[in-house]
Amino acid sequence: MPTGIPQALLALLAGVVAGAVLAVLVMRRRTPAAAAGLPEALDRCAMGAILIRDRRAVWANARCAGILGVDAGAIAGVETRAWHRDEAAYVDFGAVVEGLAEPGASFRGDVRLRKVDGSPFWAHLVGGPLVPGRPGQGVLWLVEDVTERVEAQFDLSEVLSLNQKLIAASPTGIMLYRAADGACVLVNEAAARILSGSQEEILRQNFRRLESWRETGLREAAERALASGAEETLEVHFTSSFGKEVWVVAHLVPFTSRGERLLLLLGDDVSAKVEAARALRASEEKYRVVVETLNEGLALVDSSGALTFCNQRLAEMGGYEPAEMLGRPYSAFVPEAGLAFLVEKNLLAQPSASETFEMGLRRRDGSLLEARVSLASVHDAQGAVTALAILVTDISARKRVERERERLLAELEQKNKELETLLYVASHDLRSPLVNVQGFSQRLGKSLDEVRRALEGAATLEGFSTAARPHLQERMPSSLEFIRASGIRMDAIINGLLTLSRAGRMVLRTGPLDMNAVLASCAKTLAYQFQSVDGTLEVEDLPPCRADPVQATQIIANLLDNAVKYRHADRPLRVRVSGEARGDVSVYCVEDNGVGISPEHQARIWEIFQRLDPQGPVLGEGLGLTLVRRMAERNGGRVRVESAPGLGSRFLLELPNG
């Protein structure tokens, strides 16, 4: 028996391709007798081998029996239907066997089979008829269990299919370039859309020749990534080869596939995001400029009451830098009275606060800023309160105007009262001496008539003397004295009115004034009066003010003179002058231990021509304190009295110091 067939099968089992074996089978042996030499050689084969004739197993080696899940000794005569998964598969494979009748025909492929126990597996079959063109005389099949390989191929195919779908559907632009020549070998639709070109046009590009890659630094980053093996990420702005201006975040990923160095570019179009960011920055800058140029102070307070934002204007109002205010509680800038008001309002806890009110705010130097405060809740997209917005308007100037208005109204009211007083003086105080003049003039006229009649009716000089003596020696001199006294009184009243008028019309030369110098001058002028009554004048260091020096001197001199006039008879006179600065005013106190003033008379002492005891020992017309008040008010200040009968008085003079 020829030995060529077993040698050919051994060569096949050693790894020679199945097609070569079948060729040997066809060329060297053409009779069924050739099968006689197969079992011994195929038993040593690592692959399964089985001989089929008329769709029944004739013989199989141990390896094939193991693959089919049957004992090798019991395989002869088993119908091949047992190893097909169903009848249709059995029929289809029968057609394959019939096809082996063609000259030179053979079969090689993966077939789905099942073992004797019914479990499926994949077999790689290589087979051909023992006699070419005569499969009915027997077909030799080489069998290999390739279940793992086939299933792995299925998995790989699924993965590749999924990858292709992902690449095609990805919103991220994907482009693949060869490192060797820079050519583009893959591009998805997203990349074409980002660049505004077609996939075919982009596939013809070379990243090393693109000007946009050079200008944006993409080319340099790509070469760096390929050289180092590290990924590169950068944001670039360029105009594509197809004329589209675009912002892209590019991720460059170098890798090797099948020995070829490749560069993967993943590009995200961030043009809309960049433009939105630009618009946001422009909007923020616009609102920042608006906020920073506001004439109002603006702040944001979080739920804990801490400042999270303040503009420059608010900081300037308080004498701070913005950074010094951030993080501090709002209570640090609110005085106690205002804080109690805000605590009562509890605005931070309200779901929608909206309030406007006026209150004082504490400056860095401790002074108060008069402000109008408007509050409003700030909400997020869900409607939750995230902060409290505070708008602060400096109303100090307005308040000063209001106070000036009130002062002017008060001054007008005072002038109206003075006018009423002047009218009263004109109708009463001047009328009284005028009535005296009129009355005693009439009396004087009557006396003259009596003297005339006595002169006409007297027969002798002695008779005339007797009749005229009462008129000439008593009534007429008495009337003339009353007329003279009334004239003096009217002259004093008129002079007082002129003095008061001059005090109101005098041109003021207001400026910084050293009150210590003013007191020294007054003390020197009144030294004799104090010495004559054994009085003592104590003067403390006094703050400066802004006032007319002439009127300020008259005010102090009148107050000191008043203290001398109304001293207590039972104790030596003691006068003490002190002062202090209180905000924008300086307060001066002239305190004595004189007779004092009862509460019901304290308002009257400022009225014109008012004296507490007109018949008392103190001389004067009642103008001193009226002039003091008039001059104090003309200089933007005020004066008031605190007194108790028998204990003395304290006159408090306020004058502006700013």
Summarised one tens digit per residue, pLDDT across range 155-180 is 656 655 667 777 888 889 999 999 99
Sorting pLDDT into bands at 50, 70 and 90, what band is 585?
Answer: very high
Average pLDDT over the chain, rounded to whole?
Answer: 82
For the stretch 91-100, pLDDT in tens is 888 888 888 8
pLDDT given for residue 8 in this prediction: 37
What's the pLDDT at 374? 85
Q: What angle, rounded to 10 degrees, do the helices at 624-634 and 549-565 form? A: 150
Of the listed ranges 15-19, 160-164, 349-353, 637-641, the least confidently predicted one is: 15-19
524, 569 in Cβ contact below 8 A? no
Q: How far is CA 507 from CA 494, 502, 518, in A?
A: 22, 9, 19
pLDDT confidence of residue 13: 38
Q: Write down the pLDDT at residue 1.
A: 30
Highest mean pLDDT among 101-105, 272-276, 429-433: 272-276
How far CA 590 is from CA of 117, 503, 594, 653, in Å, comes to 127, 22, 12, 8
Q: Which residues of 206-216 are buried (b: 16+ CB within 10 A; e: fewer)?
A: ebeebebbeeb
Any idea what DSSP says for residue 629?
A: H
Residue 617, classified by CB atoms within 10 Å of its CB into exposed (0-12), middle (13-18) or buried (19+), is exposed
CA angle in degrees (0–180, nearest 5) for 32-38-43: 155
Select the highest-mean-pLDDT range: 129-138, 427-436, 533-542: 533-542
Smallest CA-to-CA distance from 468 within 453, 485, 490 is with 453
pLDDT average, residue stretch 235-248 = 93
Amino acid in the structure at residue 225: A
Reduced 3-state DSSP string for 140-165: EEEEEECHHHHHHHHHHHHHHHHHHH
Report strand pairing: 536-539 vs 574-582.
parallel
pLDDT at 75 over 50: yes
Distance of CA 435 to the CA centre of its chain: 80
Q: What is the pLDDT of residue 499?
A: 65
Percent of the chain with pLDDT over 70: 83
Asked if the domains 170-274 and 507-656 are classified in one and the same CATH topology, the answer is: no
Lowest mean pLDDT among 5-14, 60-69, 472-481: 5-14
For residue 591, what pLDDT is reported? 95
Is pLDDT at 610 greater than 70 in this prediction? no
Residue 495 three-state SS:
helix
Question: Among 218-232, 255-269, 299-313, 612-626, where is mean pLDDT lowest?
Answer: 612-626
Question: pLDDT of 529-577, one tens digit each?
Answer: 899 999 999 999 999 999 999 889 989 998 999 899 889 989 999 999 9
- Highest CATH level, class, for 294-387: alpha beta
Question: Which tops the pLDDT comparison, 446 or 486?
Answer: 446
Contact criterion met (CB below 8 Å) for 207 and 201? no
**CA Rg value for the chain:** 63
* pLDDT at residue number 469: 80
- In this prediction, residue 40 has a pLDDT band, given cuts at 50, 70 and 90, of low
The alpha carbon of 386 is separated from its chain's Cα centroid by a whole number of angstroms, namely: 11
Predicted local distance difference test score (pLDDT) of residue 344 = 59
| Segment of 91-100, 147-156, 586-595 carrying the highest mean pLDDT | 586-595
Q: Between 389 and 436, where is the model more confident?
A: 389
pLDDT at 9: 36
Residue 597, burial from CB neighbour count under 10 angstroms (0-12, 13-18, 19+): buried
Which residues 6+ apart lie within 8 Å of 8 measured at CB? 21, 24, 25, 28
Query: How many other C-beta atoms lie within 10 A of the C-beta of residue 345?
Result: 14
Compute the distance between CA of residue 493 and CA of residue 629 in angstroms, rounded to an integer. Answer: 19
Per-residue pLDDT at 19:
38
| 62: pLDDT strictly greater than 90 | no
Consecutive H or E run containing 286: helix 271-293
3-state secondary structure of 184: strand
Q: What is the DSSP letter of 507?
A: P
Nearest-5° Cα angle at 433, 424 to 425: 15
Q: Which carries the bigger pLDDT value, residue 328 or residue 464?
A: 328
Q: Reply yes or no on domain 507-656 having CATH 3.40.50.2300.
A: no
CATH topology of domain 4-152: Beta-Lactamase (3.30.450)
Per-residue pLDDT, averaged over 53-71, amounts to 88
Q: Which residue did the predictor score with more confidence, 469 or 122? A: 122
Q: For strands 297-301 and 184-187, give the pairing.
A: unpaired
Count of beta carbons in the 10 Å neighbourhood of residue 125: 20
Average pLDDT over residues 491-497: 68
**What's residue 576's pLDDT?**
96
pLDDT at 24 over 60: no
pLDDT of residue 546: 93
Higher pLDDT pick, 612 / 648: 648
Residue 590 CB partners (closer than 8 Å, separation 6+): 556, 559, 560, 563, 575, 576, 577, 650, 651, 653
Would you state the pLDDT for residue 16? Answer: 35
582 band by pLDDT with thresholds 50, 70 and 90: very high
Between residues 421 and 111, which one has the greater pLDDT?
111
Q: Where are the domains of the chain?
A: 4-152, 170-274, 294-387, 430-504, 507-656
Q: 517: Cβ–Cβ under 8 A, 6 or more apart, which residues? A: none
Least confident of 110-119, 426-435, 461-470: 426-435
pLDDT of residue 362: 87
What pLDDT does 352 receive? 66
pLDDT at 505: 61
pLDDT band at 191 (very low <50, low <70, confident <90, very high): very high
Q: Which of 2-11, 12-21, 115-124 has the highest mean pLDDT?
A: 115-124
* Region of poorest pLDDT, from 141-145, 565-569, 621-625: 621-625
- The mean-pLDDT minimum among 225-239, 453-467, 488-502, 524-538 falls in 488-502
Mean pLDDT, rounded, for 504-514: 79
Confidence of residue 20 (pLDDT cuts 50, 70, 90): very low
User: Position of tokens 């074409």?
Assistant: 192
Asked whether residue 607 carries a pLDDT value surpassing 90, the answer given is no
Name the CATH code of domain 170-274 (choices 1.10.1240.10, 3.30.450.20, 3.10.20.30, 3.40.50.150): 3.30.450.20
pLDDT of the residue at 11: 35
User: Is residue 315 a contact partner of residue 324, using CB atoms and an 8 Å limit?
Assistant: yes
Q: What is the pLDDT of residues 358-415, one digit of tens each?
A: 888 888 888 888 888 888 888 887 878 888 888 898 888 888 898 888 888 887 887 7
Q: Which of 272, 218, 221 is nearest to 245 (CA)?
A: 272
Position 98 scores a pLDDT of 85
* pLDDT of 501: 66
What pLDDT is attached to residue 17? 33
Q: How far is 657 from 276, CA to CA, in rounded Å?
A: 56
Strands (E), 170-244: 173-178, 184-187, 232-239
Q: How far apart are CA 64 and CA 42, in angstroms?
A: 10
